[in-house]
Chain A
Amino acid sequence: MSTILVLTNLADGDVDTPTLELLTLARELGNPVALIVGDAPSAAVTTLGRYGVTAIHALDCPQLAGSLVTARSALVADAASAVGADVVLLAAGLENAEVAALVAAALGAALVTDAVAAATVDGALRVTKVIWAGRHTVEADVRTPRAVLTVKANAITPSPDAAGGTVLAVEVGTRTHETARDAVVTSLVADASTGGPRLSDASVVVAGGRGTDGDFTGVVALAELLGGAVGASRAAVDAGWIGIGTQVGQTGRTVSPDLYVAVGISGAIQHVAGMRTARRIVAVNSDPDAPIHRIADLGVVGDLAVILPAAVERLRAHAALEGASR
């Protein structure tokens, strides 16, 4: 039985949704083993047990904060070797792509980033990913004994293990990283957490662009009412209207929500690259020729200054009625 090491990420003291997706995949491929960097809170330990994890390792490293990706990568590679992992799974993302690559290099393992599925086929690990601006799906077999995969959020439906539920003891350890020729992180400003779900795994994203003219109040209100996260186009971020952490696109975040609402966004290729896998797309843009209207399931051509407040008001009334009828 293969050993699958899952790099476990926490949110609010418990296992985050992308990790639940990884654990679900890990169970299909073999025996899931969880690796937490830092402490293992009890809520996370319980959740990991429910998801069928067979061992939990919590590893810390004093050099982590000062190291860009090398200390983290070395920690994961060490853990993978220690547990005899055949496959290492990480959630897809900019930093995790680098960590995954360095882990793969250390292990002599194959690397596939942004996988949407994986399965054992005729004894080989077959991994699926989408390429070429979403136009092609590729299936590829791993040729090395070990593999490191980053897996896109919302590609796998998380499900707990029917037989799971054991509360496992956590194996705790510390590692020291040699930083001699490393780059040094001298400051960190963490992503400002706005209320609501995280952009990377939200099921609804409401994004604003140049057409908002700097006024994101409608976008934020709509996101709140729909229980979604706020996103933005590069133009809005460059104009200083909203933080860079909300940028969706080729060089920002890639999102795969159930519903993507593009407000005042033209739909340039670089933006679309970050949201084209959304299940449903609706756009509000006054330019009938804006490329966004070509990929939207519903494109509204009109003045968002009129449309957005009216939609927000309608939704507020809707929510009030629902609240009243309970």
Chain B
Amino acid sequence: MPVTRILTCVKFVPDTADEVEFAADHTIGRPAAGSMLSELDEYAVEQALQLRDALPGSTVSVLTVGPEQAEGALRKALQMGADEAYLVTDDAIACSDVFGTVRVLTAAALTVPDVVVVLCGMSSTDGEMGVLPALLAGGLGWPLLSLAATLTVTEAGLRIERTDEVGTRTVEATLPAVVSVTDRSGEARYPTFKDVMAAKKKTVTRLDLAALGVAPAEVGAVAARVQVRDITRNPDRPPGRVVVDHEGSSVDELVAFLTAR
């Protein structure tokens, strides 16, 4: 029986709590130290692992596009329980915009065999656009089940519940499909020592643009649709005033603040 793959796309990101340094050409490094599996992608890995339980004969494959050190994100996902990993790395991919990245991911989802579900986090914690899953579904010609708070296997395929400005919708699709999950989809599991040891034996396969059949001209800075001209650090909010209340002593000041416009 052929293996069916649940391909989970993850990103290796710098810690947004840290200060970031931009180079003169407005790029950032993705240093191995201080970078990590994007927190919102942990939820995608968790849902992939739960989906594996619900789909007999399936495998969780995790994939990332990035420099060599992005393997760190894959290691974390393997420790959580993913079965195998793919690192798409190629100098030409550096400085890709979301369209370049989607070009690569679309090719990867079609190159890795037997993918029936592509799972993503709802957005990256550094880019924060939240558009990649929709573009990926478009690139693949597969249905989009994005911003899922719940993910259920049905007879026909998958069902999600999604909440946004429109309201809460139930959405269903047949496979293969692209799914993105939010942080409300379920607590991401913490690897045990046994999981960490087991992860060491799992494979990370490297793929480059040639292996995916993608031309360098389609990705990277050369294909980017927007060019950064300037980046400035915004001043931090000036420290505010902290008042300790004693049985309502602060109410006058609070009301004055609320009514001052």
Contact = CB atoms under 8 A, between A and B. Distances in A.
Report, as a range, how many residues of chain B touch the other chain.
35 or more
A135 B167 CA distance: 31
Contacts of B242: 288, 293, 296, 298-301
A109 B240 contact: no
Interface string A36-50: 000000000000000
Contacts of B258: 222, 226, 259, 261, 282, 311, 315
B160 to A, nearest CB: 8
A130 B234 contact: yes
A136 B232 contact: yes
Nearest to A269: B17
A13 B103 CA distance: 41
B214 interface: no
A241 B159 CA distance: 26
A307 interface: yes
A307 B249 CA distance: 9
B243 A105 contact: no
A102 interface: yes
A95 B168 CA distance: 12
A196 B226 CA distance: 39
Nearest to A66: B171
Interface string A245-280: 100001101000011010000000110000010001
The residue in A70, A104, A310 that gathers the most chain B C-beta atoms within 10 A of its C-beta is: A310
B255 A318 contact: yes
A4 interface: no
Interface string A92-124: 011111101110110001111110000000000
Interface in A197-255: 200, 222, 226, 234, 238, 244-245, 250-251, 253
A306 B247 contact: yes
A300 to B, nearest CB: 5
Interface stretch (B48-56, B76-84, B125-133, B189-197): B125-133
Interface in A119-149: 126-127, 130-144
B254 A181 contact: no
Contacts of A102: 134-135, 138
Interface stretch (A52-60, A157-165, A166-174, A185-193): A185-193
Nearest to B132: A101
B122 A298 contact: no
Contacts of B142: 181
A69 interface: yes
Given A143-B225, A251-B183, A311 B254 contact: yes
Contacts of B166: 95, 188, 190-191
Nearest to B18: A132
Contacts of B139: 105
Interface in B1-58: 16-17, 19-20, 22, 40
B233 interface: yes
B226 A112 contact: yes
A134 B234 contact: yes
B254 A98 contact: no
Contacts of A138: 228, 230-231
Interface in B214-254: 224-234, 236-237, 239-248, 250-254
Given A111-B98, A298-B257, A141 B226 contact: yes
A189 B167 contact: yes
Contact of B248 (A94, A101, A306): A306
A102 B133 CA distance: 10
A98 B144 CA distance: 10
Interface string A299-318: 11111001100110011001
B157 to A, nearest CB: 9
B245 A105 contact: no
A226 B231 CA distance: 37
B204 interface: no
A304 B168 CA distance: 32
Contacts of B155: none
Contacts of B225: 104, 109-111, 142-144
Nearest to B126: A132
24 contacts: A97-B130, A98-B146, A101-B135, A110-B225, A111-B225, A134-B234, A135-B20, A136-B231, A137-B232, A140-B227, A140-B228, A141-B226, A142-B225, A143-B226, A183-B143, A188-B170, A189-B168, A234-B183, A253-B165, A288-B242, A296-B240, A297-B257, A302-B246, A314-B255
Interface of A: 68-70, 93-98, 100-102, 104-105, 109-114, 126-127, 130-144, 181-191, 200, 222, 226, 234, 238, 244-245, 250-251, 253, 258-259, 261, 269-270, 276, 280-282, 284, 288, 293-303, 306-307, 310-311, 314-315, 318
Interface of B: 16-17, 19-20, 22, 40, 98-99, 122, 125-126, 128-131, 133-135, 138-139, 141-147, 159, 162-173, 177, 182-184, 224-234, 236-237, 239-248, 250-255, 257-259, 261
Given A135-B234, A297-B237, A300-B250, 4 more contacts: A136-B233, A139-B231, A251-B184, A298-B254
